[in-house]
Structure 1
Amino acid sequence: MFEDIAYSTDAGVATITINRPEVRNAVRPKTYEELTEAMKMAADDPEIGVVVLTGAGDKAFCSGGDVRDQSSRKPYVGRTHMRRLFALSSVMRMMDKPIIAKVRGFCVGSGNELNLFADMTVASEDSKFGQVGPRVGSVPIWGACQLLARYVGERKAREILFTCRLYTAQEALDMGLINQVCPADKLDEEVKKLCNEILDKSPQSIRIAKIALNAGSDQEFYSSYFPTSELLASIYGNEENSEGIKAFLEKRPPNFRRFRTR
């Protein structure tokens, strides 16, 4: 049924796995579309009480957008892509079931934005978190610019976005970006334990709690989404974006300094 993801259910839990370990679970348009469809399936299944989002293998939860796909984008393609992203984040935020991100390895770029859209996150000790957009002439307007400061505070959010540093799982926990850190060999066990804690509670109460928690904050998110999505679409194909992607594919540092002389 799916090419880029895997979907399974067991004892009230739906597990959605980004299944592209050969590229560290980088996401492309098909991946976003399949994630949206799988999230809808979980949302509509009355037997499901919790959704677990994870990545295949032990290298990455998600290493962000597939830069090879991005290299061919132009502004009109970017606008279509932003509508695709909005569909996924909307179903994640609006479904009345908790989503737990189970993170092992790299959780960066749009992978970290998926982490932000999830309700809770459990990560292995060897995980790494961060945003990487400005490294390749892009910007995380899908969700990080809007939501990150709510998790880690305004100053820390600016540091994360402007420097593109990577942070350990413990640093992510300390700043409030995730909920729990555990040894890699205990990750599945800890996530299962958390799922069972939630499943033991009133489904009605959980549904109402999630809707109520999102009601105020998401109004601001949606009101800021549409103008910023147009800004993001406009960067595709411009000189800085092209330079960043070309440098990434050639495995060399991008030369952004030359753009500052203009």
Structure 2
Amino acid sequence: MEYQDILYEVRGPAVWITINRPEKYNAFRGQTCEELIHAFNRAGYDKSVAVVVLTGAGDKAFCTGGDQSAHDGGYDGRGIIGLPVEDLQSVIRDIPKPVIARVQGFAIGGGNVLVTVCDLAIASTKAVLGQVGPKVGSVDPGFGTALLSRVVGEKKAREIWMLCRRYPAAEALQMGLVNAVVEPDQLDAEVEKWCMEIAALSPTAISIAKKSFNLDSESIRGISAMGMQALSLFYDTEESKEGVQAFLEKRTPKFR
């Protein structure tokens, strides 16, 4: 596959996968998701690769979720909602290599979900995380909600979704959403340090450990499948369409 929306770079024992849509704050469209799925499979089953790093181009955003300009009652790709996000989230969990989210700038909406799904996350002090779904008539009814509650606790997860606040990196660290926070000019070096530490360990033991962690929350995959069916119906409603339209027009939505 020839990549248009992402970059694929080998750095020693690690592969860095970069969402390369800085003009869109690294929001993903259908094409972006397909390329990410391909890249994760490519890196994940390459025996020379010890760890995969997911990040976003530029310093403004890690990822801000689905590209609302490609959303009109459904996105522009395949799948139940027009984005194969279930496949993307699953491949990050399924490949037998640790996936580190390198977070610079905004990790909002679906970008926050990607941070949640990755095995580890390292953020710069300029990172900002949080949810936006209910502001735009959307929600992640799977890993983005159920797995998030396991990561940060049930009450905090409900706060994140029901208030749509933004959380600076230091607060994300405190709640357990990221593993470490460093200054922006130290971010790459810190990520590379973690990659080298992982590369020195038994790849089979790491793979088994990852699978073992995932098995405890594997039922969420079924929750996601059912939830996405409901979400596809929700996207056809006037309420959801109002959220998208208000976002594009940069105004406050009128849901009621």
TM, length-normalised to structure 1: 0.93
C-alpha contact 2:142 2:223 (8 A) present in aligned 1? no
- Following superposition, the deviation at residue 44 of structure 1 comes to 1.8
CA distance in 1, matches of 2:128, 2:85: 23
Query: Are 1:33 and 2:41 matched, yes or no?
Result: no
What's the counterpart of residue 159 of structure 2?
A: 159
Segments of 5+ residues of structure 2 without an aligned counterpart are none
Cα deviation code 1:104-162 (max 9, x no counterpart): 00001000111111000000001000010000111122521121100111111111000
C-alpha contact 1:77 1:233 (8 A) present in aligned 2? no
What's the counterpart of residue 253 of structure 1?
A: 252
What's the counterpart of residue 224 of structure 1?
A: 223
- Partner SS, residue 107 of structure 1: strand
Percentage of pairs with the same residue: 46
- Partner SS, residue 123 of structure 1: strand
CA distance in 1, matches of 2:132, 2:220: 21
CA distance in 1, matches of 2:52, 2:151: 21
- Following superposition, the deviation at residue 54 of structure 1 comes to 0.2
CA distance in 2, matches of 1:183, 1:157: 26
Query: Are 1:73 and 2:70 matched, yes or no?
Result: no
Query: Are 1:24 and 2:7 matched, yes or no?
Result: no
What's the counterpart of residue 175 of structure 2?
A: 175
CA distance in 2, matches of 1:111, 1:226: 19
Matched letter for residue 28 of structure 1: R
CA distance in 2, matches of 1:185, 1:168: 17
- Following superposition, the deviation at residue 237 of structure 1 comes to 2.6
Matched letter for residue 56 of structure 2: G
C-alpha contact 2:22 2:61 (8 A) present in aligned 1? yes
- Number of aligned residues: 254
C-alpha contact 2:45 2:96 (8 A) present in aligned 1? no
Segments of 5+ residues of structure 1 without an aligned counterpart are none
- Following superposition, the deviation at residue 72 of structure 1 comes to 4.5
- Partner SS, residue 47 of structure 2: coil
CA distance in 2, matches of 1:21, 1:80: 24
Q: Which portions of structure 1, spanning 4 or more consecutive aligned residues, are displaced by more than 3 angstroms?
A: none
Q: Which has the higher helix share?
A: 1
Query: Are 1:49 and 2:42 matched, yes or no?
Result: no
- Partner SS, residue 81 of structure 1: coil
Matched letter for residue 117 of structure 1: V
TM, length-normalised to structure 2: 0.96
C-alpha contact 1:78 1:234 (8 A) present in aligned 2? no
C-alpha contact 2:141 2:223 (8 A) present in aligned 1? no
- Following superposition, the deviation at residue 13 of structure 1 comes to 0.4
1:240–1:78 CA distance, 2 compared to 1 (3 A): farther
- Partner SS, residue 231 of structure 2: helix
What's the counterpart of residue 199 of structure 2?
A: 199
What's the counterpart of residue 211 of structure 2?
A: 211
Matches within 5 A, 1:179-190: 179-190=179-190
Matched letter for residue 71 of structure 1: D
- Following superposition, the deviation at residue 73 of structure 1 comes to 2.1
- Following superposition, the deviation at residue 251 of structure 1 comes to 0.9
C-alpha contact 2:142 2:225 (8 A) present in aligned 1? no
CA distance in 2, matches of 1:195, 1:132: 31
- Partner SS, residue 185 of structure 1: helix
CA distance in 2, matches of 1:105, 1:23: 13
- Partner SS, residue 82 of structure 2: helix
